[in-house]
Amino acid sequence: MFTTTDFIPKKYTSTIENGNFEWSAPSNIALVKYWGKKDNQIPANPSVSFTLNNCKTITKLGFEKRTSSETNFSFDLLFEGKPKEDFKPKIQKFLERIEVYLPFLKDYHFTIDTQNTFPHSSGIASSASGMAALAMNFMSLEKVLNPEMTDEYFYQKASFLARLGSGSACRSVKGNVVVWGSQANIAGSSDLFGVEFPYTIHENFKNYQDTILLVDKGEKQVSSTVGHDLMHNHPYAERRFAQAHENLDQLITIFESGNLDEFIKVVESEALTLHAMMMTSMPYFILMKPNTLQIINAIWKFRNETQIPVCFTLDAGANVHVLYPENVSEKVLQFIQSELVVFCQNGQYICDHIGDGAMER
């Protein structure tokens, strides 16, 4: 398994003057949540997510060798084809964090041209897919400079870099089910990068569906970064971090058995615990909206009445992810359309499902 120093490259054997790469990377939805971190983007507890398929960022990276050696980074940022100044500080910070691992960054001028497949300001975090897509492109460039690089190194370092951009981004490189954070019972798991869940996954989870109900598309009052920070000196932090380990252990068994009742218990409890942590931090805050609760209650009622194994999870926001197996899609979509769409802003929702991770285009 690679360590941080393995990601600091030795001398490159090749050169390249200019060119471009293009990668897409999907969003992901955590089942066991990452909430709380230590220095250098090390998670306070392990997390696991489904990689999504339709919600993704597509990023083209153009690069051109600069004539003299420079002390600053040089890049242009385009969002949906237009210059986007307000995204630049985040990228600048990302480049600063990853420079030791990619020492060629100041040798080139970059044009980063990025777009999302989901509506902008939909409240769907684009930082996970965005940072993952950018990390993949940088790794493509590094692979040209170091053609001997193995695939394993390529993907693990991509995830390692993505993590430094945004923690959850490290779970958007690989597909299906990804674990990030060291967990005793999961071989190969690491705080440094995401890895594919290495054990049996029951048929029930194949092509699992995630319909994202857009409840509130406004700017969040509290960013994830601030929220993570509030887990320092949080009265329930230690117990919560231990619980994440316990829930992840439970999921190992659940993924193998395909027990959807148990799956639902873990996933919904994780979602509500995440928000409970927000409500019990100092300062405290609430990201759910009245319609978030309306939806949760409607899902519980529907599940009780029909015994259809549909459940919800939440991100750090008001939107609701409705999770269900593929074989009940038709009935759940009918239910969503007839009973849940009224709670969505402008009736908007996005149908997604488990996907394979980042792809070169």
Helix, strand, coil percent values for the chain (each to nearest 5): 40, 25, 35
Strand 108-116 with 74-79, pairing: parallel
Write down the least CB distance from residue 229 to ligand DP6, Å.
9
Residue type, 149: M
Contacts of ligand DP6 in 46-85 (CB under 6 A): 47
Query: Which H or E run includes 306?
Result: helix 290-306
Does 33 contact ligand DP6 by CB under 6 A?
yes
CA quadruple 44, 320, 27, 97: dihedral sign: negative
Per CB under 6 A, which region of 33-41, 107-115, 248-256, 342-350 contacts ligand DP6?
Answer: 33-41
**Among 306, 310, 143, 136, which Cα is nearest to 213's?**
310
Counting beta carbons within 10 angstroms of the beta carbon of residue 355, is it exposed (0 to 12), middle (13 to 18) or buried (19 or more)? Answer: buried
Token pair 């909430």: residue: 35
- Provide the minimum distance between the beta carbon of 340 and ligand DP6 in the complex, in angstroms, as a whole number: 21
- Output the furthest CA–CA distance in the chain (Å, rounded): 69
Residues 286-325: x where in contact with ligand DP6 by CB under 6 A, - otherwise, as a string? -----------------------------xx---------
CB contact at 8 A, 66 and 194: no
Binding of ligand DP6 by 228 (CB under 6 A): yes
| Residues 92-131 interacting with ligand DP6 (rule: CB under 6 A) | 125, 127
Q: Which is nearer to ligand DP6, 41 or 115 (CB)?
A: 41
User: How far is the C-alpha of 300 from the C-alpha of 104, rounded, in Å?
Assistant: 53
Helices (H), 99-187: 127-145, 151-165
Residues 6+ apart with CB under 8 A from 90: 127
315 to each of 75, 114, 294, 353, how far by Cα in Å? 31, 23, 16, 16
Query: How many whole angstroms separate alpha carbon 231 and alpha carbon 244?
Result: 14
- 194 is an interface residue for ligand DP6 by CB under 6 A: no
- The residue written with tokens 């999961």 in the block is 186
Nearest distance, CB of residue 20 and ligand DP6, angstroms: 26
Q: Which is nearer to ligand DP6, 129 or 211 (CB)?
A: 129
Task: Quote the least distance from Cβ 42 to ligand DP6, whole Å.
Answer: 10
Residue 183 lies near ligand DP6 (rule: CB under 6 A): no
Closest-CB residue for ligand DP6? Answer: 167
Among positions 224, 281, 291, 292, the unique one binding ligand DP6 when judged by CB under 6 A: 224
Q: How far is the CB of 131 from ligand DP6 (least distance, A)?
A: 8
For ligand DP6 (CB under 6 A), the number of binding residues is 17
| Shortest distance (Å) from residue 97 CB to ligand DP6 | 11
Interface pick for ligand DP6 out of 7, 21, 23, 34 (rule CB under 6 A): 34
Give the residue with the Cβ less far from ligand DP6, 179 or 274: 274
Site for ligand DP6 in 237-276 (CB under 6 A): 274
Q: 206 near 329, Cβ under 8 Å?
A: no
CA neighbor of 154 nearest in space, from 131, 173, 130, 128: 173
| Contact region with ligand DP6 (CB under 6 A), list: 15-23, 66-74, 221-229, 289-297 | 221-229
Among 196-204, 222-230, 276-284, 295-303, the segment contacting ligand DP6 (CB under 6 A): 222-230
Q: Which is nearer to ligand DP6, 86 or 151 (CB)?
A: 86
- Is residue 167 part of the contact set for ligand DP6 (CB under 6 A)? yes
Q: Given the rule CB under 6 A, which residues bind ligand DP6? A: 30, 33-35, 41, 47, 125, 127, 166-168, 224-225, 228, 274, 315-316
